[in-house]
Each structure stands twice: as C-alpha cells, then as structure tokens.
Structure 1
Amino acid sequence: MSRSTPAFLLTSEWHDDDQGTELTFWWSTAEGPLATRHRQPGVCFIDSDHSERAQAIAATLAWPVEIKPLALQSFSHQAASACYMPASYLYRWRDVLAEQGIVCREVDVRPTDRFLMERFIYGAALLDLQSSPPRLAPTRYVPKLRCLSIDIETSMPHRDRPDRLFSIALYSDSERQVLTCAEPRPGQDEQLQLHWLADEAALLQRFIDCVQRIDPDVIIGWNLVQFDLDFLRRKCQQHAIDFTLGRDGSAMGWRRQRNNPERVFVHIAGRLVLDGIELLRNATWQFESFALNHVAGELLADQKLLHGEQRGDDIERLFEQDPWQLARYNLKDCELVWRIFERADLLNFAIERAHMTGLAPDRMGGSVAAFENLYLPRLHRAGFVAPNIGEGYHQRKSPGGLVMDSVPGLHDQVLVLDFKSLYPSIIRTFCIDPMGLITGLHSAQQRSSAPQWPDDELVPGFFDALFHRQQHVLPQLIAQLGEHREQAKQHGNQALSQAIKVIMASCYGVLGSDGCRFYDTRLASSITMRGHEIIRRSADWIRQQGQRVIYGDTDSVFVALQRPHDLKDAYRTGRQLAAGLNAFWRQTLLDEYGIDSHLEMEFETYYRRFFMPSIRGEEVGSKKRYAGLAQRENGDETLIFKGLEAVRSDWTLLARQFQRELYRRLFAGEAYQQWLRHTVEQLVNGELDQQLVYRKRLRRPLSAYQRQMPPHAKAAQRLEAWLQQQGLPARFRDRGGWIEYRMTVNGPEPVEDCPSSLDYGHYVEKQLRPVADALLQFTGEDFTTLAGQQLRLF
C-alpha cells in the first residue's frame, strides 16, 4: 500500500486498556480495507474556578484525571478547563462532580467523533502511513464500495414451537446463492446456486464463512437490523456459534436504544450495515407503505415472487415441498433490495451524507449529532465550550411556521411563490446562532444604553434575543453548505445536493429540539417568528401590486391572478412578483436593520385550476390541504394533491382513487356526473371490494384502548382472538402496530378474518360522499343528487 492514501470511513469504535483509550477506525481505500488505531484520552470541560477542587476529588479517588486550563469559556463567560482521562471514566466523573455542585460539559461527545471532528474530517481522510500512528488530514474521497445484499426466510412465529431458520440468500455483483437447511430435492436453476446444509447450525456457519470470503464493505437489506441480523444473532446464541462477521474476526456488536427498547443498533467492525427502509426515509423518500413489495412496485414496477395475506404459510409449505422455489423467492427479495438501492441512488446518498456531516453512513437519523459534528469544532475555535442539554432559555414556547387563513373554493390561475430555504436564509440574514446569541446579549449588557436599529454590532431577534453581527458560527456554516449545494447541482450530483438539503433543513429543527444541547427558544422563535413576519409582509406587498393572496403556508404565498392570463403571461407575472419581492426585502432589511438580505423568493408553480377546501361543516378555509392542476411552461400538466384524502394512507384506496379521478375530470372540464353514478353502482354491486381495506396504526398497545375503542382497535381485538385460535403469538398485546380491516354489517373485521358481508352503505357515506361534497359544494351540485337511485338502497 502506498505511504499516503485517501480513505473513506466505514466504522469506528473505542475501548480502554492499561495504556488509556484506543480508537479504531476502519477505512475503505483503493487498495483495500485498512484499520488505523490511535491513542487519545476522553475529555470534558469544567469552569476553571472549580479546577483545584476537582483535582483534589480525582486524587482522593485515585482516578487518572488531568486538569488543564484552556483559552475557552462557557456560555456564561466563565473560563474553562479541560479534564483528560480514559474515556470509560467520563460519565462517572460527571456524576461525582455533580454531587459536589460542579458542572461537566461535553461529556457525551463520543471519543471517536471528537477525534475526527476536531480535525475537520468528515467521511474521508488522507492517511499518512509513514507516521505511527497514521496522521489524518481532511480530504474528499468517493470509494467504490463492495456491497452484499442479504435476506433470510424463517418460520412464522408460533407460541408452541421455536422459530426456525429456513434459508439465507446472498446477492452481489458476483454472487447469486442461497443457503438452506431444507431436505435436498432435485432441481436446477442456472441463475441460482443452491447450497444444502445439514441443519441450522451448519447454515449459520456457512453464512459467516461466506461473508468473510466475499468480504463486503457494505451489507444491505430490508428491515435488516431490526429483523434479519437480530434473528441470526439469536440463532447463533442458540447454537453456541460466534457471530463473527467483523473484518477483524470480531463478533457483531448489538444493543437496544435506552429509551426505545424496540430500536436495535448493530456494529460490525469494518463493514457498514445499511437498511433500505431507514435509508430511504433519511433521504426523504415517501411511500404509503415501506413494505418491500410496495416500494419495489413504486420504484421498479416489479414485485416479490410471493405476496399476500398467506405469504407466511406459503413460505413454510415451500420449505417442506419445493425448496428450489423458496430459494428463488428468497433471492428475488435480495435482488429487489439491490435494485432499489441503485434506483434511488441510496449508497451515494449515504456516502455524501457522511462527507457533509461526519456521521457514519449507517448511523440513521442523528440530525442533532450531525449538527454538533459540524458546529462544535468551529465553536471551540471561536473560544467557547458547548452548554449541556437544558442550560438554554426555554421559559416561553416557540411557535411553529405561519399558516394563513385560506380563501376556500375553486380558483382559476393561481401562482405559488416560495422562499428558497426560508429558515436557513433567515439564519444567514439575521445572524441567528447559539454563540452569536450569548455574545450579542453580553455585548448589550456592556453598553450604557439600549441598542437602536440599525446597529453596527447587533441584530434583534424575538423573546428579547440579540445576535452579534460578527461573532457567530452558524450563518457562515449555512452559507458554505449553500455554496456546496449549488456546486453539486451544477455538477449533476443529485445525491450530494439532497444530502445537503436534508442537513440545511435540519438546522432549525435541532435548535428547536429539547434533545439538542443548543436548544434555546430564543433561537427557534427568532427563526419561526421572523418567518411569520416575512410571509405576512410579503403578502401585503403582493396585495399592493393589485393581486389577491388566497393562502400562505410557512414559506409560500398563493396568489390568484385578478384577470385572465395566457400561459406565457402568467409565468412572466410570477417571475416579476418574485423579483419585486426580492428587491423589496433587500431594501427593507438594509433600511431597518442595516443587514444584507439572503432571502430569495422564487416563482415555483402555476396552477391552471386550483381548489382550496373549507373545513368540513364550516365556511372557513382549511389549511395545508389543497389540490390543483399544475401547468408547466411547455404546457405539460400534473395533478397535485396536498393533505387531501388522495394522499392519505388512512383512507381507503376507493376514496383516494375516486378523489383523483373526480378532481381530474372537473379540472380538465370533462363530464363527471355519469362516471360518479357508475362508481357508486360498482361499489354497491361488490365490484370494488379490493379497494375497501382500511390500513391504520395502533400507536399504543391494545390494552390501552379501554374507555374508547375506535374501529381499528376493534379490528385488532378481533384479530388477536383469531391469532390465538390459530396458535399464533399476539400482535398488539404489548405494543402498537398496523392493522388492515374492512367495515362489515357486523362492524370492523381484520382482513385475516373477515367472514361478514361488507357494509357498502358505510363506504358510500364515509368514503365517497365527503370526498365528493367537499368539491361539489362549489359547483352548485351535491353527491346525493348525482348518485341517484343507488343511494335509495341505504
């Protein structure tokens, strides 16, 4: 291997030994995987006034703690000292000092994270292998990672017999194989290698051997962490097999989240573990269901070889009777996951996210950790130690985004003007920043009189917040992220652009989260309340131009044109309004605060027809709910729904498809009366039964539904009784979950046990009528009249 090489970080871990704390990093390089090891003590910070007392406590306990003064200060402007020790002592040290009234800060920063972030190493590093240990420098490196998709097939859970492992499929660029412990059967498949193992123990050991032989950088799957790897881990324990998947021969690490025991985390030394469901969510993909078959249908127009309500029984039958077909099914699932990763560019998204945040690609969620990775090293270089959770101001609650009252009804020619990245732009423009807040307030305290606007040093916020115009971190960080995103767009790097968008959007969220050490309602309110002001004043300016504002939502303003426009003229008007607003804000902010505006209004969408519903049973317009026929400049049209039944998974497929077609016909000027009547006729004749399933989630255990039993809970109760009769384990007794059911003449019944006749009158009244009448009230028609004779059945 060359003496200096770029490397991408795969995994990291740390442990204490006789010499202190050792950090281990596994990297992917062009010449293969590589591990580096480094020595660095754990560190936390205390006010320097307490240093002597803290040192005496360490001496009394005979703990290896070294305390040194630093050129840093707390957010209370107290000089800070660092406490160095083996990392395993950090939390005990914090607790001991807390008993003496001494506050420790930044105890919870992982030693491996601190080591990398303080060197500004995010995702990749240039390794100088001539030094020992290797020196690390920041770089950008996009690796060619070797992936392996895995999937397992098991028996259905049963209270009277143990779980059984049937097969494990492995799929990669070069592998197409399935391992099974089924009884060997004759057969052949040129696309599949099927290996017969004597029993579960042999199957597990062969799988471990295959992973070590293939040596992937990344293991991918569907519900991989929460099910597949957890199941395999438990099976290895049952058979006294070491689950040694690590590149160094170590066993897979496994732990539950402290405050959410159902959440499982795994660690495999030198190998990333990426779950398709979690990664899609992190990349902001949205689906009605994240079941593999549904996502594959949406993204690939493909599906699993087995699907439906009896899939579990089919799997067990195939294991006993046709293991070749079970192997094909098992491998197909692996293939679908592989193709979804390719289609959604998930691996590149994970790599780029790591480059931007420093979080390992398999560390899902983590918006607070990502923010701190970016912010802490810059804060330290500015001379401050971060506060602990709960130290910020939170006596008044921060409001959410502004949602204006809407003008309900059918509208022609509506423009949507949208502020590009409004909250990040507000942060940049008004210098909103945790450090900028405490330096701004401190500066104001040193003055003999209150500041007057515009001010050369301060910018006002809300809840008496003041922000320093020069001493801050976040505005520059937002600016850098914005520049990186524009470059990514110019180079066609969609994965990087999306990763940066997610990070920028999270900056407000973490400042408004009480799980973040920088949580302070003066910060969050100075963003959201400034957003309120900007939207309101923008709407006022638009009205002054002779246009009609019919709605506003967080960062958007909806404008109904006051006279007929052709398509070209409508687009020209939209761009003129956006340009005028940008000029208005540039001049206004310069005059009122002496600051440069980074607000950027864009003309986003032109709706040829637009519908804003009223709140059901009232004349007041609803919020965050609308539909429209959007028309692009080339004339192409798209039907868009926001918040309505068509995009809500808790409504039946019947209602969603009915709404889409009704609105499409009305917006396009097509006849819909006869179609509506025919749809009702099909429903009551039993021709649409497959579209009548409700899918809802119990958010609590079934036992929690005592005083009130909503329909989906009643269906779940019936399902539990049916499962008990079948000898299957309870599904909702100790936790919530999803339930699918139909409404029958005998009430809600789960799809697994639904012998009663369907209640078609319920679906007419509760699914079709409200969808239709919400729109038809503005056309002078009503559902009952249009449905005609069919309603007399009820």
Structure 2
Amino acid sequence: MTNLKTAGIQNGFLLTRQVQDKRTGLVITLWLKTDAGPVKLEVTNELAVFFVEVEHLETAKSILDDQRILLEKHQVLSLKTFTQRDVAALYFSSMRSFYRARDALKSQNIKCYEDDIRPDDRFLMERHITADIDYLGNHQLCGDYQLTKQVKCKGAAIEQQHSLTMLSIDIECSMQGELYSIGLYANNNHTVFKRVLMIGVSQPDADSYIHWQTDEKQLLQQFIREVNLFDADILIGWNVINFDFMLLQKRCDLHGIPFSIGRDRTCPYWRKNANNTDQNFIEIAGRVVLDGIDLLKTATYNFSSFSLDNVSHSLLGLGKKVADVENRVQEITDNFNHNKSALAAYNLEDCRLVWLIFEKTRLLDFAKLRAQLTGLSIDRVGGSVAAFTNLYLPKLHRSGYIAPNMGDGESGLVSPGGYVMDSKPGLYKNVLVLDFKSLYPSIIRTFKIDPMGLIEGLKAVSEQKSAHSKSEKLSDDCFDDVIRGFDGAYFSRTEHFLPDIIKSLWLERDKAKLQKDAALSQAIKIIMSSFYGVLGSTGCRFFDPRLSGSITKRSHEILKKTSVWIEKLGYQVIYGDTDSIFVSIGAEKTKTQAKQLGAELRSYINDKWQNRLKRDFDIESQLDIEFETHFTKFLMPTIRGIHTVKDQKSIGTKKRYAGVSDGELVFKGLETVRSDWTDLSKDFQQELYRLIFNDQPIEGYIKKIVDELKQGLHDEKLIYKKKIRRKLSDYVNTPPHIKAALLANQKLKELGDKPTYKHRSLIRYVITLDGVQPLEFNTSKLDYDFYVEKQLKPIADDILPFIGKDFESIAGDQMGLF
C-alpha cells in the first residue's frame, strides 16, 4: 500500500454499493469505475435513520432503553407526515441496532416511517447521486484498485463518459452439474479475447484459445484467476446468475475453493428474491453481473421464447453450434467425451452470441442510462418503485414532509385501467390511428398530479372551507389554488414535483430522439410510463387510488371526448384503446388525402384540448395527439362465434386487429404474433390476409392448404410450443401442454432417465388420433381434422364473412376427402 494522499475532486461511475457493520460503526462501500481504473470508496460516520411521530418519541426512547438497544441520537425535525404530524428522527450507528429498534417499536404499535430505506441508498439519494459521482478523499493504492477513505461525495456536476468493460461467461456441464468447460469472450475497444477452459488432456491440433485443465478443481481455480486478470467491470451471460454463477458457487463450495472474484478478492454475497425463491441475486465487490434475459425483458423486448437460440436467431440471424438444440445436453456430453474441440467451439459461440446480442440491442448503454436517470443499481431488475423513491424522496424532504408508509393512502377506492372502447367490426379501407403521445405522463404534467400535491391541495381546500361558514356551500370554482381531480382529489397548482420530473425526462427523450439515440429514448420512455404504475401499485409507499384514478379516469374522459369531436366532423371512430383512436375516413380517400387529413385532425384535436383546458381549469395542455398510422386496409374482427356481418348486434374484439400500412402487413393480438398457435396457422393467416387485402382470389389457396395438410406435407408446422407456467402439481384441470409434459416425464422415467419437464420448461407437443402426445415420444398419426377445425377454420372465419364467404363452403370438399 502507498501512503495516504489527498487529490482534487475526481469523478467515477457507480458500479456496486454496500453497507456493513464494522467495529468502528457503519461503513458504506461504493465501487466506481474511473478513468484511472477501479476505485473503492469507504464512507464512515454515517448513521442509519428512521422517523417516529413526536408524540411517541419519549415512549420510543423508553422501549429502546428497556431492551438495551443503542440509540446514537434523536432529533425533533421540522418535517411532517402526510397527516400533518410532527416527527423526530432516531439515529443508529449499526444496522443491527437499526433493525432491532424497528422491530421493537413496531411490536409496541409505534409507527416507524422510512424504516425500509437502507443507509447506502439514503446516502446517495439525499446527495442527488444517481450513477455519476464527484468525490473527494484520501487515496491509497491497494493492488489493482485505489482505496479512498474519509470520503465526501455529491452528484456529478458534469456527466462523464466512463467506458465500462464487459466479459461474457458461459459454462458447459453434465446433467448432474459436473463442469466440462467454461467459456470467456470479450471484444472491448476492438480487442477480441477468446478463451475456453476445458477439462482434458492437451491436444496438439486443438485451437489455441482452448486452455486445458487437469480436473474440475483446477478448472475453477483457473477461472477465478482469469476473471481477476481480465478485471472486467461487467460480467454478462444468459441466465448467468441463476445457472452459471450459482453452479460455479456450488462447485467451489464442493471443492473448498474460495470463489474470490471480487475486485478486492472477496467472495460474492448471495440473496434470494423474497417473492420468488427461484430467483437469486449476486453481489460481487466492484463487478456487476448482467443477465441478458432479465435485461431484455426490462427493456421491454418480447420473444416467443427467451432461449439463447431463439433470441439470437431473431436478432442476429445466428444460432447455436449444435446439431439438435432441443437435445443439446446429450450432444454436449458426447462431445466432451469424444470431440472436445467441438464442445469448445460451442461453448465459445454461446459467449459470443450473448456479446453480440448486448451489442446489437445496446443493453449495457440501456442499463447505464437507466441507472443515471433513476439512481437504480445498474443490475437492478424491475425497480420502478425504487426509481420513483430515489427521485422523489429528497425533494419531498426539502419541502417539509417525510414519506408515508405502504397502506397509508386512501382505501376503499378502485381506479380503473386504461380505456378500451367497444370496437365496430368490419373490413375497412383507409383507417387512421391517432395516438396520444405518452398519455399518462402528459396527464400528470397537465393536471399537476403528484403525491405531495394531493396533500397540499386537500389541505388548501380544507382551509378555505373552514374559512367560510358551515352553511355556505362552495363550488369547485371557488378553489383557485387547486386543480380538481377525481374521487375527491384536489392538486396544488404550485406545490408538486412529479410533473417537473416528467417534464425533465420528456425533454431528455426529445433530445435523444433528435440524436437518434434509441437506447436512451427507450430507457426514458419506460421510466416515464412506469410512474403511473407506481402510483397505482399497493407496493408503493405513495399509493393512493385518488392519484391513479385521477390519471386513468381523466384518460377515459379524454378519449371519449376526442372521439365525439372526430365524429362531429363526419368520420367514424371504430375503436379506441388506452391512448389510441382508430378512425375510418372513407374508402374513396387517396394516400395523400389520408395523410393530409391525419395531420389536420392532429392540429384540430390539440387546439381543442388547449382551449378546453384553459377554459375549464385555467391550465396549459401538455396533451399531444399524433397522427401515427394510415392503414390502407384494416380488419377489426368480431368475437369468435359471431360470424354474420348482417347481424347488427355483432360484437367486435378488443386488442385484436390487422391491417396494411405502407405496404406492410401489421398484426395485433392475432395468431401471427402469438406463441401458442402452430407455425402453419401463422403462415395461413398471413397469406390469407395478404390475398384478401389485395383483392385476390382465396378459394384455391384455402383448398390447397387443407389438401396439403391432410397429405402430411406440413407436419413439421403442426407442433404446439408452450411454456409451463407453474409447478406441474399445481394444475387442477390438466390442459394439453401439461398432459404432454406428464406423458414425457413418464416416458423418461421408463427409459431410466430423469424427468426434465417442470416449471418454466418449454414443452412441444402434437394432437394425434390418440390424443395429446409429446413431440419427442410421438408415434401416433396426427389428427388432421383437428388441425383444420381448430387451427385453420377460426382464422379464416375471422375475415371471410366480411367478403361474403365462409370456410366451410370453400374447404368442405377437401375436408371430406380423407
């Protein structure tokens, strides 16, 4: 170690955070990536804190004294609860005392506020630190990193661009968890790193990236050395935490090897998800583990399957280096025993595919930006409530309030979901889609919807009512300082934060769009959209149905009123969904006329809302409806079972439609975009709709497909694929995919193999003359009549009645041939 020395203000990007009890008291440890390399900050002299109402302070002190719980200090503050009660802060020098005190007071029915906020999170949020940190302290060199003590930190004055290094990791093993090999891959700054650690005897003709290991113990030890030598900031993989790292930890434990991959050579700290014991979290000092599946889901990507093979095919057009992806475990074992070079290539390719997916989707940029915008840990999965708390709580404290606890909000009210209009089924020419840009966030901005704003608004109304005689009835127009919401809510025009937080994010998103920065734009969109969900979630301390109801009920009002205005202009509104309105403008319009009308409708509606809200509420409208799509042809189906166009009572579907826009077929909610229908049904739907939308004959195509199906020419497209969503034992009624899974497990047992189908497994099955059969064990003839009746006919009958035809009449002869 070098001697302590003090330098000027330095800057870093926050990787990991931790709080620990040590002999000297609480220590908050922050690991940063800086231009000079990794830095470990140790923050001392911090105290853990929660709050109690002043009227309970003396009782609380007595309880803690009786139970010999060390209270470092207490202080009456100029803060209040949302119920306008004064509060005092209780401070503790250890987490042990903090937790014991919280439990002791709660057991005596003394309410503790903000007792779920960890000192490391509070330290960061109160200094407005998200991910970029300016810091000052005494530095010393400790091996590969710099240790900084006596630290002072604040949010970065200028956002720096710290480049984070990644390392992709993947393991190969037997069904019993015995390791075969470990792959590592990176391409940081155009420098490619390829390595596969393989158990086996060195082979002279093998690729140079294969490093041979004597046994599993040596394999693990070498892996730990490789991780520490490469010294990456970010470790990535596919199901990498719950599978790869969990298995590596277990094998290290088995061999008595410290899994010392932290930057200070410490071992990982593991914890489980309290709500899902199958999900594990790993904390490594100075390194972050990002799982590709979790991060893609957080970034709102959606795939029929999140298997590496499927995602890499969808995004990259590449697949795994294995002949049979579905039975790859046996092939991996065979390769380990007979062709280790092939296994090494497969292992390395999995690492590379994960890297390429991260690169293609800019997942690391997305995770960094999310952390910079919200203060969430870069590896945080979900976390909408925590993001809201990070941004809101410091502002709330500076305005004289502490946060409420979960359950403190108004109860007994129900806020509805998004507005979904009854659709008008039909086959249309020229349909415009008008979409309110970020409707819920724009309602929050326009009507000043805010947790503290609600408290201040209600307080203002109460005070004004008290100032008048009880017999005098006041109308809403008398309350100048507030904006009326729903369910008795009033919002302060001036005392609020959320509208301004939304505004700043909105401006950043507009800037990102101009710069064509898709990752930043997507990150901001997800954050903004999540704030309504937070206010409507009972898992959030600020939950109050009057908040969420004032958003959703206002959105209902806006969509309904907008539809009335459009119909008064002579156009037909055929559907509306959450923030979108579908308008039939007449078959005679040209594309140019349709697009011009879309622009005119946008200006008309935005002006109408600006004038209406100024008149009724004296507020500036932030609502912005956009002309989003022009469908030249558009289908809104009826609910299945109602097929007669002449039936005026026919009921249209919701969230299911198809159309042609700019020459491209678009499907929403139909079989083409659903994972639980066969490939044949999807192909059939796309081609049938293409023919109809282009006014081409369809009889020959339908007969041909039915004929080919019954001849067995499409058997490979008649496979159902479905994820098992629960434990097999939890299913009371046994749906087809569970029957297939149970049959497959039974067959595996009979063959002396371990049953493989369980919760989260994907099962492939077919329908045969002997019923449901798992694909891998099927020997029965497929039930072609079933597939015609259940896969082709429903799709055809969604659209054929609108052109005066029906599937039975067209395919009847073919259906009877076999």
TM-score, scaled relative to structure 2: 0.93
1:709 paired residue among 723, 728, 734: 734
Letter in 2 for 1:198: T
What is the DSSP-based 3-state SS (H/G/I as helix, E as strand, rest coil) of the residue aligned with 1:446? helix
Deviation of the 1:713 alpha carbon: 1.5
Matched, 1:81 2:107: no
CA spacing shift, 1:467–1:728, aligned 2, 3 Å: farther
2: distance between equivalents of 1:229 and 1:764?
Answer: 47
Can you list the C-alpha shifts for 1:148-206, whole angstroms capped at 9, x where unaligned?
001001112xxxxx4211100000124211011134444233xx511111111110111
2:141 is aligned to: none
2: distance between equivalents of 1:455 and 1:496?
Answer: 40
What is the DSSP-based 3-state SS (H/G/I as helix, E as strand, rest coil) of the residue aligned with 1:588? helix
1:176 paired residue among 194, 197, 206: 194
What is the DSSP-based 3-state SS (H/G/I as helix, E as strand, rest coil) of the residue aligned with 1:752? helix
Matched, 1:622 2:653: yes
Consecutive unaligned residues in structure 1, runs of 5 or more: 157-161, 632-636
Deviation of the 1:390 alpha carbon: 1.0
More deviation, 440-449/298-307 = 440-449
Pairing of 1:88-103 with structure 2 (within 5 A): 88-103=96-111
1:61 is aligned to: 67
1:159 is aligned to: none
What is the DSSP-based 3-state SS (H/G/I as helix, E as strand, rest coil) of the residue aligned with 2:803? coil
1:35 is aligned to: 40
Deviation of the 1:700 alpha carbon: 2.5
Deviation of the 1:693 alpha carbon: 1.2
What is the DSSP-based 3-state SS (H/G/I as helix, E as strand, rest coil) of the residue aligned with 1:175? strand
Deviation of the 1:88 alpha carbon: 3.0
Deviation of the 1:59 alpha carbon: 2.2
2: distance between equivalents of 1:551 and 1:92?
Answer: 56
Letter in 2 for 1:149: S
2:3 is aligned to: none
Can you list the C-alpha shifts for 1:43-86, whole angstroms capped at 9, x where unaligned?
11111111122122222223221211112111111011111112
Deviation of the 1:563 alpha carbon: 5.5
2: distance between equivalents of 1:88 and 1:604?
Answer: 56
Pairing of 1:683-698 with structure 2 (within 5 A): 683-698=709-724
1:721 paired residue among 710, 732, 746: 746
Can you list the C-alpha shifts for 1:704-756, whole angstroms capped at 9, x where unaligned?
333x22211211110120222233333456x4543221111111111221121
Pairing of 1:669-684 with structure 2 (within 5 A): 669-684=695-710
2: distance between equivalents of 1:3 and 1:674?
Answer: 79
Residues 481 and 504 in structure 1, CA contact (< 8 A), matched pair in contact too: yes
2:113 is aligned to: 105
Can you list the C-alpha shifts for 1:197-236, whole angstroms capped at 9, x where unaligned?
1111110111001000100000000111111111111111
Residues 124 and 138 in structure 1, CA contact (< 8 A), matched pair in contact too: yes
2: distance between equivalents of 1:454 and 1:181?
Answer: 80
Alignment RMSD: 1.6
Residues 464 and 479 in structure 2, CA contact (< 8 A), matched pair in contact too: no
Matched, 1:336 2:360: no
What is the DSSP-based 3-state SS (H/G/I as helix, E as strand, rest coil) of the residue aligned with 1:391? coil
Residues 428 and 587 in structure 2, CA contact (< 8 A), matched pair in contact too: no
Matched, 1:267 2:291: no
2: distance between equivalents of 1:718 and 1:680?
Answer: 29
Deviation of the 1:473 alpha carbon: 1.4
What is the DSSP-based 3-state SS (H/G/I as helix, E as strand, rest coil) of the residue aligned with 2:776? coil
What is the DSSP-based 3-state SS (H/G/I as helix, E as strand, rest coil) of the residue aligned with 1:126? strand
Can you list the C-alpha shifts for 1:573-607, whole angstroms capped at 9, x where unaligned?
00111111111111111111111111111100000
1:523 paired residue among 501, 525, 547: 547
1:17 paired residue among 12, 22, 47: 22
Deviation of the 1:454 alpha carbon: 7.2
2:171 is aligned to: 152
2: distance between equivalents of 1:92 and 1:729?
Answer: 46
Letter in 1 for 2:153: L
Matched, 1:573 2:597: yes
Deviation of the 1:298 alpha carbon: 1.0
What is the DSSP-based 3-state SS (H/G/I as helix, E as strand, rest coil) of the residue aligned with 2:42? strand
More deviation, 588-597/483-492 = 483-492
2: distance between equivalents of 1:515 and 1:365?
Answer: 13
2:469 is aligned to: none
CA spacing shift, 1:676–1:186, aligned 2, 3 Å: farther
CA spacing shift, 1:6–1:454, aligned 2, 3 Å: farther
What is the DSSP-based 3-state SS (H/G/I as helix, E as strand, rest coil) of the residue aligned with 1:69? strand
2: distance between equivalents of 1:699 and 1:775?
Answer: 32
Matched, 1:663 2:660: no
Residues 543 and 549 in structure 1, CA contact (< 8 A), matched pair in contact too: yes
What is the DSSP-based 3-state SS (H/G/I as helix, E as strand, rest coil) of the residue aligned with 2:325? coil
Letter in 2 for 1:412: K
Matched, 1:358 2:364: no
Deviation of the 1:543 alpha carbon: 0.7
What is the DSSP-based 3-state SS (H/G/I as helix, E as strand, rest coil) of the residue aligned with 1:82? strand
2: distance between equivalents of 1:450 and 1:650?
Answer: 57
Matched, 1:758 2:782: yes
Letter in 1 for 2:553: M
1:214 is aligned to: 230
Letter in 1 for 2:667: F
1: distance between equivalents of 2:450 and 2:262?
Answer: 41
2:260 is aligned to: 244
More deviation, 338-347/479-488 = 479-488
1: distance between equivalents of 2:724 and 2:214?
Answer: 41
What is the DSSP-based 3-state SS (H/G/I as helix, E as strand, rest coil) of the residue aligned with 2:184? strand
Residues 171 and 183 in structure 2, CA contact (< 8 A), matched pair in contact too: yes
CA spacing shift, 1:112–1:599, aligned 2, 3 Å: same
Residues 454 and 594 in structure 1, CA contact (< 8 A), matched pair in contact too: no
Matched, 1:124 2:132: yes
Deviation of the 1:301 alpha carbon: 0.8
2:807 is aligned to: 783
Residues 184 and 196 in structure 2, CA contact (< 8 A), matched pair in contact too: yes
Deviation of the 1:320 alpha carbon: 0.1
1:319 is aligned to: 336
Letter in 1 for 2:315: L
Letter in 1 for 2:48: G
TM-score, scaled relative to structure 1: 0.96
Can you list the C-alpha shifts for 1:455-491, whole angstroms capped at 9, x where unaligned?
4211111111111111111111111111111122222
2: distance between equivalents of 1:793 and 1:721?
Answer: 37
Deviation of the 1:259 alpha carbon: 2.1
Letter in 1 for 2:29: T
1:199 paired residue among 200, 211, 215: 215
Residues 309 and 752 in structure 1, CA contact (< 8 A), matched pair in contact too: no
2: distance between equivalents of 1:454 and 1:5?
Answer: 54
Pairing of 1:401-420 with structure 2 (within 5 A): 401-420=418-437
2:152 paired residue among 135, 151, 157: 135
Letter in 1 for 2:424: V
1:643 paired residue among 665, 669, 672: 669
Deviation of the 1:127 alpha carbon: 2.0
Pairing of 1:488-637 with structure 2 (within 5 A): 488-562=512-586, 564-618=588-642, 619-631=650-662, 637=663
Pairing of 1:274-289 with structure 2 (within 5 A): 274-289=290-305
Deviation of the 1:450 alpha carbon: 3.6
Residues 42 and 149 in structure 2, CA contact (< 8 A), matched pair in contact too: no
Residues 185 and 323 in structure 1, CA contact (< 8 A), matched pair in contact too: no
What is the DSSP-based 3-state SS (H/G/I as helix, E as strand, rest coil) of the residue aligned with 2:522? helix
Deviation of the 1:628 alpha carbon: 0.6
What is the DSSP-based 3-state SS (H/G/I as helix, E as strand, rest coil) of the residue aligned with 2:88? strand
CA spacing shift, 1:320–1:342, aligned 2, 3 Å: same
Residues 182 and 320 in structure 1, CA contact (< 8 A), matched pair in contact too: no
CA spacing shift, 1:205–1:785, aligned 2, 3 Å: same
Give the count of matched residue pairs.
780
2: distance between equivalents of 1:204 and 1:73?
Answer: 55
Consecutive unaligned residues in structure 2, runs of 5 or more: 1-5, 139-147, 466-472, 643-649
Aligned-pair identity (%): 45
1:634 is aligned to: none
